[in-house]
Amino acid sequence: MTIRDRIVELRRVKARDLRANPRNWRKHSEKQRAALRGLLEEIGYAGALLARETDDDALELIDGHLRAETTPDELVPVLVLDVTEKEADMLLATHDPLAAMAETDEEALAALLANLQTDDARVEQLLADLAMEHAGVPLPPIPPPPEIEIPRVFQVIVDCADEDEQRAVYDEMVAAGRKCRVLAL
């Protein structure tokens, strides 16, 4: 079997200069967008977007639409491929589904998740969802929230018959030098 290398070069391109593929069939939920923002903030770019050069010398995305959309002002790594429009369509249709066909080694996933720590709630949710999606994989331990010292406050709540009585009690307490506020529940 002969396998061709279709990668022409790695370029750093301002994300807004990449052309979205009009045949892109993927939609991105707000949950996915949030998780990606969390990972980009925590780690940064760790993979290249895929694009092909069009006849008018534009770079048209094949993979990485959400990353480009999320960071339009950033220089992003782009693998420029030497593929035709039809080959790009084939990659667009199969790139993510092919990766999704991989089976889960639950033991390996559990070990991996057990060693991951993040301070980003969006990434934490992504990891929890991943563990929940794969039965038998325990959730990674969530660190306890930081302790907050809550000062002791002593209060008196007075039930009043109406707003007029409430105003009278309030005025009386303020006149006596008490720190008060009016609440209506």
Q: Is 123 within 8 Å of 38 (Cβ atoms)?
A: yes
Name the β-bridge partners of 63.
50
Q: What confidence category does residue 185 fall into, taking pLDDT thresholds of 50, 70 and 90?
A: confident
**Residues 126-137, mean pLDDT to the nearest whole number:** 78
**Residues 142-149, mean pLDDT to the nearest whole number:** 78
118: helix, strand or coil: coil
Q: Is 127 within 8 Å of 140 (Cβ atoms)?
A: yes
For the domain spanning 7-100, the CATH number is 3.90.1530.10
**Does residue 91 register a pLDDT over 90?**
yes
179: helix, strand or coil: coil
Could you read off the pLDDT of 92-124 as tens digits, one per residue? 999 888 888 888 888 888 888 888 888 899 998
Residue 87: predicted pLDDT: 95
DSSP secondary-structure letter at 119? Answer: S
Which residues, 6+ apart, have CB-to-CB distance to 78 below 8 Å? 10, 11, 12, 13, 18, 48, 49, 50, 51, 59, 64
**Does residue 171 register a pLDDT over 70?**
yes
Could you read off the pLDDT of 45-85 as tens digits, one per residue? 999 999 999 999 999 999 999 999 999 999 999 999 999 99
